Amino acid sequence: MSDKRLIKKYPNRRLYDTAISSYVTIADVKQMIIEYEDIEIVDAKTGEDLTRSVFLQILSEEEAGGTPILSNETICQMIRMYGKVSQSLFAPFLEQNMKIFADWQNQIKDQSRAMNQAGKWFDPFRQFDMKHIPFMEWQKSLQQQALSFWKNVGIVPKDK
């Protein structure tokens, strides 16, 4: 038995959530992702797995509106990865770094919650000296490691 929430996509592009026996929207699927639901989306007729394509649609819509996460240069670099030996290295590298970042976010959220429960006030408008935030130091270190890695595999030209 699978713990995944099964959503069927019909030819009319409608999405049917089998867990609640109701049609849902792309926005609903996005919310499920935000809430860490484990989702599988399949073609209602053929059973073909459409999860990746629907997730990419959500990502594309998010990138097109508001403030995008991925710059044009980042997208170009990702496109350049396809078909190269480094492609197989990039996916686990990106996945691990996204996990590290999510873990860090959860840790900060837990610390903030603990501060609020202890009666301390968190002032989101307070000005921080960014040099003293451990995350910024960690991020710079991670960026330097990543740059060094990509230089060694030949994606980024080495310094002369």
Determine the Cα–Cα distance for residues 45 and 68; give it in Å rounded to an integer: 34
Q: Would strands 39-43 and 22-24 be described as parallel, antiparallel, or unpaired?
A: unpaired
**What end-to-end distance do the CA atoms of the chain give, in Å?**
57
Determine the Cα–Cα distance for residues 24 and 18; give it in Å rounded to an integer: 10
Question: For 94-139, what is each residue's pLDDT tens digit?
Answer: 888 888 888 888 887 777 776 666 555 454 544 444 445 566 676 7
Residue 126's pLDDT is what? 46
Residue reference for tokens 């609640």: 20
Domain boundaries, the chain: 5-64, 72-152
Which of the residue ranges 91-95, 122-126, 140-144 would you say has the lowest mean pLDDT?
Answer: 122-126
Beta bridge partners of 8: 16, 42
CB 39 within 8 A of CB 9: no
Beta bridge partners of 22: 17
Question: For 36-83, what is each residue's pLDDT tens digit?
Answer: 899 999 999 999 999 999 999 999 999 998 888 888 888 888 888 888
Is pLDDT above 80 for 149?
no
